[in-house]
Structure 1
Amino acid sequence: MSKKEKINILIVDDKQANIFALEQMLAKPDRNFISATTGNEALKTVLNKDICLIILDVQMPEMDGFEVAQILKSNKRTKDIPIIFASAEKKEHQFMMKGFEEGAIDYLYKPLDKDITEAKVSVLLKLHLQKKELVEKNAALEKFALLINNSADLICIINPGNLKFEEINQAAFPLLGYKPEDIKDTTLDFYLPEEYRFKLRKLSRETKEKFSFESQILDKQRRLKWFHWNVVNKIGLWFANARDITQAKEVEEIKNYLAAVVKQSNDAIYLHNPEGKIISWNQGAENIYGFSEKEALDMHIWNMVPNFLMQEAQAAVDSILEGRQIQALETKRITKFGRIIDVVFSASVITDSDNNLKSVAITERDITQQKIAEQEIKQLNSNLKRNVAQLEITNKELESFSYSVSHDLRAPLRAINGYSGIIVDEFGGQFNDELKRLFGIIQNNAKKMGLLIDDLLAFSKLGRKEVVKMPVNTTEMVNQVLKELQNGMVSGLKTVVHDLLPAEADPALLHQVFVNLLSNAIKYSSKKQNPEVEVNSFETEDENVYLVKDNGAGFSMDYAHKLFGVFQRLHSDEEFEGTGVGLAIVQRVIVKHGGRVWAESEPGKGAKLYFSLPKPATT
């Protein structure tokens, strides 16, 4: 909490005189007092304000202090706020114990002693603020730890006195092959070649606050890798970040070696590593084969070899890697545009100063579209496998979700319905008007929750239902649906069903689509003087489009994007009842059929709901 921010203390007492007396007794510049005279008012205040301490009167009408404390301690957001009970009565042991059971930290007895009251309040405020600060610091530390351990770079703490690693992150394993616990308490110079150890020891004696350097490091397989280090020197420790720059170093070294030789050559001159990946590409190569340098650096030499020469090319590369030079060998290559050309091929191995193999230098070269296509197919297959796996996981999650909805949520709902019904039956005659109203709200909301559960369950089941398509007479289906909905129709409703285009669809699912669309049309036109619902269809080049039109309340097209979302409603319950799942079910069914859903409307001018289905296959 910042110095300028005041500490909020909530005083709850049904007597304003008691509240005023406490405020005067505890007044300090850094304290802000908030008061409440009822339990309900206190609960609302705690949910909307950052309260650091509650002084709570035990004896209050409607809801006593014990009940208020019990609710506060059962809420995750408010359970840690310290509570002091203030009481003029009930000093017996059992009442004190009840207060402590409900989460009280201490008791104050009226008339209040100023010194004791101030002492208790000051201590509890100090402890609460210290705990809050500690929680915030721990949260920040957890975020930092997450960032550090998910970094692709080495992040470590080194003691410059002995160069020991005191801490290192998880990147040590993918970069060096060592687990963090294997590296801790070992020294940095253990992993360095001899020529870098002197430089490191020199740096350890300097007192620069920030510095950078590059070095090679031996990994667990004793392979040399290049790292760029950034170090902050504070409190006698190095806080270091090291990035693997091995590939960049190799490319830089090779480019510097060849730059002067190959820049102006009209021949195709390029390098590839032992695995055949191209790592250098000159202008002559681009002129001959058509590939830009950027394109070529993403290729392997095998992309430019005709299939019927692949074995021969592999044998040539193996021979070169063994140290043989090839001079003026005639062979064939493929250009970027798929043309096979004759080339004169020369090649040799490039090694470093220690005679270690670095790359193969080739003079002539190309890439094939076939290889690119193979890579694309491989990626598509990989994506398909991944998507199938994700779909299986999603289906399992939906099954689990359906079980939870149908069992776990229904049990408490039955309890609410059952117990509220018992109370109304047994004691309804004793209720005043307000209590009757409140119980009516409970029962209505329980009924609404039941409908929500039913609709949500129906929506989730659609994701797993297999679509079984067959010819459907949509005109007959719509007339049948209207008969089923007859009991819910308002007096004077006019329905018009034109001859509709036939469909190829799952009959049960398409029936549900028309039930939902027609139910909505009837409901939203019910408040019009002359309500009317019309069903029609028309065809496009490759779709049959079906339209359900009404002259009802309509809606603004600014909110049309919400129309087909689960629980998204454009009208309040007071205007029209509903759960907001019906149109979401329509969209899911139509999409599973390969169609689409959309709407047109204006407020007060009715709505048009469209859906399309692919045209039935012709026999």
Structure 2
Amino acid sequence: MKKWTEPKSSIEKSNDTVMDAVFFQKEDEEQKWEKRVNILLVDDRKENLLSLEAVLDSPCYRLISVQSGEEALRWVLKEEFALILLDVQMPGLNGFETAKLIKQREKSKNIPIIFVTAISKATEHVLEGYESGAIDYIFKPFHPDTLAMKVEGFVQLYLNQQKIEYQSKMLQSRTRALEEANERYHRTVLELQKSEALSRTISETSVDTIITFDDNRLILSINPVLRTMFGYEPDEVMHKPINRLLALPFQTNEYVLDKIMESVAIRKDQTSFPVEIQIGKAMIGQRHIFVCSIRDITERKQLEIERKIHYEHLELLVEERTQELVVSQEQFKKIFHSSPCLIAIRSCDDGRYIDVNQCWLDHMQYSYDEIKNSSEDRLILVNERNSKNRSLDLEEAIRNEKIQYITHTHEVREGLLSTEIINIRGKRCILSVITDITEQVYLEKEMARLDRLHLIGEMAAGIAHEIRNPMTTVRGFLQLAQKTKNGSSFEFVDLMLAELDRANVIITEFLTLAKNKTNEMTKQHLAEALKSLLPLIEAEAVLSGKNVHIELSECPEIYLDGKEIRQLFLNLALNGLEAMPAGKTLTVKTYQKDDEVVLEVTDEGPGIQEELLEKIWTPFFTTKEKGTGLGLAVCYSVANRHHAKIDVESSSLGTSFYVRFKHDAIG
């Protein structure tokens, strides 16, 4: 065996770094307990440790040598020792102090300690050692055999104590095992008694017939339900083949265990009825016993037949209702998507668009992908109650409220809004329907304007003749007075003639508004009808220090009254020149756009205020100091008789008038 020491540290005498601690071997129903015990050697001198190791060298011992009390305490915390040989006189912690600290620990207080000392053998010194926890003293120089025998004796005591503790634990373990086995036995007996009582109760109270039979298919027992189900007394079928009760042939190899099967049972009067059977198998001694439960399912079969008939009827109803629902959905889908109204369905929870129809997309100028599942307000409404634009379609249900709504391209349109709260798959939604009345509102305004023009036209037709007759007489006498050049009033004759001429012009324009005016329509080019007036317009522009830019493109021929069109163009051109300061340019264009021929007159004046745009076509409305207010009204009347439309665009950079002759006027 290799011996080793290490100064100021632990020294372990062992052939292996890790030793087996305890092992048990069973022999003759008892275990032999063997263990390689730990012995701690403590001495500050290396030569003393070597001598102790030489004396105690044995394969049964694991000697651990240390050279200080502190190191000894560390090993006591880590390992279990059968014996400690402790030197008394050591630097640092001496033997007595080390022993006291070892005895204070609960786990190590029972370790035997033998003091090995070369100092005084006085009684008080030895007594102090025993008070510190020692059980024996060995004085140096010691006798090797005496030391070895003492150590062997303490080791045997330690091994016997360990064996006793182990046997005590084994005895306790076996006692607990026996107690648990006994408890399990009593529980098993109790469970068997309960099972027997329960089985008997189930057998006697069950609505099923319960039969036991053997390998030969002979009935061994049967419960009382046999009387009501089959009409037999138990004695009539005991030890008889089970085939008497069940129509299916039974062979041993045909049994299907623990599975419910349907079969046919036969009563005593030989009538049959449907049953459910379940067979279980048990082993009693060396004998196979089969348990068969039989349940009458006549009522259930009848219910299944009725249920099947009812189910087929329900299927027919469901199919009919489904078809009706499909037709209804198709009709709703067609109505929804082909409706001329703007229809949208939105969630009341988050404002998400669930669906919109094609009319909504066309008017709002969005694509379906932009709207579907979008929570952003796409429909901005304006009505009399709201001074600001806001969403109204998620408010309370309303009916035919007149509103204005703004499209994706910022066009303001007119409509009638109706909303309704609906539930779709349990979710609260709102259905908004807008009937677009933009064209209707426009037509109403046009009709109102035309009615005013018609009224003025009727007035013009009625009074023009009466006004011109006295004016003609007055003009004649004024002309005679002018030729004679006599009298003191000669200086006022020219002024009176000028005023009469101006009144005549007003009457002429007034008559132009008359609805019953006869038009002389001929097929001609718009540019040709205007060319005769261009020199006049250019001369007027030169006199006022302004410019004229003319672009007359080749366009298809349309039906025109040349005189009226020239009057319309002259009014627009002169208005434009009057509106511009010196140095600005008036632009005149004719061109074809899509199926329309367009006359465009654009000035570079200060523009027309937005609130006045709707009034400029009204007769007698003017912003000029000497204007009659009939120029644009005449233009509107002329355009209307030519089935044309006049649009105006105005800003601080100027105003543009567009006279659009419709396609039905194109030759």
Q: Which has the larger radius of gyration?
A: 2
User: Normalization by structure 1: what TM-score?
Assistant: 0.29
User: Normalization by structure 2: what TM-score?
Assistant: 0.27
